[in-house]
Amino acid sequence: MGSTSGANLGKKRKLDNRLSGEKHFVDQHREKLIQRITMIPPVLDNLLQEGLLTQEQCDTVNAKETPQEKMRGLYQFSRGWSIPDKDIFYQALQDSNPGVMEHLEGTSLSANLGKKRKLDNRLSDIGEEHRESMKEKFLRIPEYNSRMGEAVHLKKRFTKLSMIKGHKNKEEKVQELRSSGRRHVQIMEKRFPITIPALFDPDEEGFIPKIVVLQGPAGIGKTMTSKKIMLDWASGDLYKDKFDFVFYLSCREISTIPGDISLVGLLSRTCRLQSLDDLVSILKDRGSQRKLLTIVDGFDELRWTLEEKFEGCPDISMETHKEIILQSLLRRQVLPRSSLIITTRSLAMEKLKPFIDDSRNVEIQGFTRDDREEYVHNFYGNKEDADKVLSIIKDNEVVYTMCAVPVTCWIVCTVMKQEIRKDLALIQCKTTTSVYLLYLEVLLTHHSKEEQSVRQKQTCLKKLCALANQGVLNQQILFEKKDLERHGLSLDEVESVFLNENIFHWDVRTQTCYSFIHLTVQEFLAALYYGMDDGSGSMEGTSLPEICKGKSLHRFRSDSSHLSLSVQFLFGLLNENQVKTFSDITGIPISLRAKPAMLAWATKDINKTFPTPTIFCLYETQDEDFIRSVMSRCSSLELYGSRTDHLWMNKNYSMQLNYCLKTLKRESFQSLQFESLIVGPECQKLLSPFLHRCPKVR
């Protein structure tokens, strides 16, 4: 029994030596073996039989007088042996001197247990250090337009979002989008809401995901949710028993990495551990029992440059191209036992699919009715002010609907916060463009440098709009100093509230990049570029703005989806009344001279179909003559949605459709057909005057 136990311990020792990289047992205990091994002839016979020693070498060892001298002689011949050879040597010693070997094995086992306790204690200290640093990092976060030193408490400001669990293939998604009426409602009701704590819970079939994808449009709250997960975990309020270590990766920061990097180097950007060795000890394979979670925030912001498919990089310390490292992490070729949360805009889901499989897909839908009220109360912290603003928002259904998107809710609250002491009934927020014009007005009148003249503000705004336009056309959201200089922007001007400064820390240096406070603001300023009066953005009446790609608005959406919101803003800027109000208050003239060209572009290729984005663009103008000129080109209307429509848009769409249809004369159309659009009771009531007078409705 003793011999068997010793053999098992020996096998374990061999395995441990190989995994840990330590010295082999016979080398580690060389001196003790020389002093304690007495039965040497059987060892020599065994090694002779295995071919490790020649007869001459055995005779040389046997010629020694004492056992100690014989063992020293034996060790002389073992210097060139491989690990498998030393395993044979070990087994020969074990067979001939089991008592000595078991004693040394026991001593080593105790030492290893001691080392393990020390390692566990050290990992516990590292974990506490990591948690504390993450709490410090994510406790207070800057808002979109906050200046240096300004931040809000994440826990106080964060409002939960409505999230729906979905795991559908492409065909199922098409079916959902094409359904209408009660059928669509039934499909949506089958999807149960999910909370952040339940993201990794088993489903009805017992499936526990290793990868969770949080998807949604820009400004829906994906990054805020990621940061809240980090803060709650670090505070011990979330995933306490699920994950020992949670790491955060910003794809916006990853895009700025100039050269090769390792996974350890990538994670060290945000984890803030004092020693890089501590991070290595967390990630190493021999610590695979530790439960790790990595949050990859903003997958859609990555700009992939490698076209070929490369093999993965399973080595956490090997430096290679950042895209190879990231692909290896997403494909779980490195840290295969760890879990992932990936956030992305819905339009980038197709790009993400090749990298992952067997994931849990969750759609962030934004604020519910109660969530919006909670957000407004959290924003103001004053019940009287919050209730006053809520009453204004609720009176305008369009704005109230848009406030389901957190960034829009924030913009509306920011705009109204400046006017809280005035007559709020005077504020007009009918369209998306009007909301952003009001927001820009607040920035120019309340947050820009006081010493700047109107002329200086106008010059700076022109340059920023030119930068925004170039970025939108090239799908660029991060700008370096040279990009700013190319548009004549100085660093002093960059200190305005229009751009954020992003400082990225590398091993021996830092890199500074600049971005607009949010992508939607960049898209708005890109449209404004074509309306800056007497500047490079102004257009002659026969010239079409560059962002209006393609032959017509009707065919625009399919090939240039990244320009769609900017084009929608462009149509909104055709409204002379709201643009004049903005100019009167700020002193900055805006004149979109391309109205005739845009009307021709909007009416070209019209037969009878109107996709959702066309209705959005027409509604933004708030110009009945313009809308009538476009929609009266056909006697029949076929209105259909698109794959990128979101649930919150449907009510908004019906109201915008109602506004556009009101511009038509009674005899303007003979039939009306809805395709892939919800026409529920509320929408039917709103459209009832047109539905009743239309001879043919489908």
Instruction: Average the pLDDT over 487-512 and give the result.
Output: 64
Tens digits of residue pLDDT in 25-45:
888 888 888 888 888 889 899
Q: Which amino acid is at 458?
A: Q
- State yes or no: pLDDT of 446 exceeds 50: yes
Query: Measured between alpha carbons, how far is 70 from 58 in angstroms, rounded to an integer?
Result: 10
- Take residue 206 and report the two structure tokens written for it: 């017992």
Closest CA to 164 of 178, 176, 182, 179: 176
pLDDT digits (tens, 9 = 90+) for 205-259: 888 999 999 987 767 888 999 999 999 999 999 998 899 899 999 988 888 888 8
Split at pLDDT 50, 70, 90, the class of 18 is: very low
**pLDDT, tens digit (0-9, with 9 covering 90-100), for 547-597:** 888 778 877 765 677 788 889 899 999 988 888 888 888 888 888 888 888
The predicted-structure confidence for 55-77, as pLDDT tens digits, reads as follows: 998 899 888 889 899 989 888 88
Least confident of 86-95, 215-224, 269-278, 670-679: 670-679
Question: What is the model's pLDDT at position 430?
Answer: 65
Q: Is the pLDDT of residue 385 over 50?
A: yes
Least confident piece of the model among 1-10, 339-348, 361-370:
1-10
The verdict on domain 2-113 having CATH code 2.170.130.30 is no
3-state secondary structure of 673: strand
| DSSP sequence for 312-357 | P---TT--B-HHHHHHHHHTTSSSTT-EEEEEE-GGGHHHHGGG--
Using a pLDDT cut of 70, give the percent of the chain over it.
73
Please tell me the predicted confidence (pLDDT) of residue 633. Answer: 76
pLDDT at 118: 61
Mean pLDDT value of segment 157-179:
59
Say which residue the tokens 């709103």 belong to.
686
Q: Is the pLDDT reported for residue 167 higher than 60?
A: no
Where do the domains of the chain lie?
2-113, 160-366, 430-588, 606-698
From its phi and psi, is residue 501 left (phi > 0), alpha (psi between -120 and 50) or beta? beta
Q: How many CB atoms lie within 10 A of CB 541?
A: 10
Q: Read out DSSP for 485-538?
A: HHTT--HHHHTSTTEEEEEEE-SS-EEEEEEESSHHHHHHHHHHGGGBTTSTT-
- Which has the minimum average pLDDT: 250-259, 352-361, 652-661? 652-661
Instruction: Give percent helix, percent strand, percent coil of the chain, each to the nearest 5.
Output: 55, 10, 35
Look at 73 and 697; give whichever has higher pLDDT: 73
pLDDT number for residue 239: 94
H or E stretch covering 166: strand 162-166
- Give me the mean pLDDT over the 508-531 stretch: 79
For 247, other C-beta atoms within 10 Å of its C-beta total 24
Instruction: State the average pLDDT over residues 437-455.
Output: 69
Mean pLDDT of 421-425: 53
For residue 342, the model assigns a pLDDT of 96
Is this structure's pTM higher than 0.85?
A: no
Does domain 160-366 fall under CATH 3.20.20.370? My reply is no
Q: What ranges in 235-321 are assigned the alpha helix state H?
A: 251-254, 263-271, 276-283
User: Nearest Cα to 415, choosing from 399, 395, 394, 397?
Assistant: 399
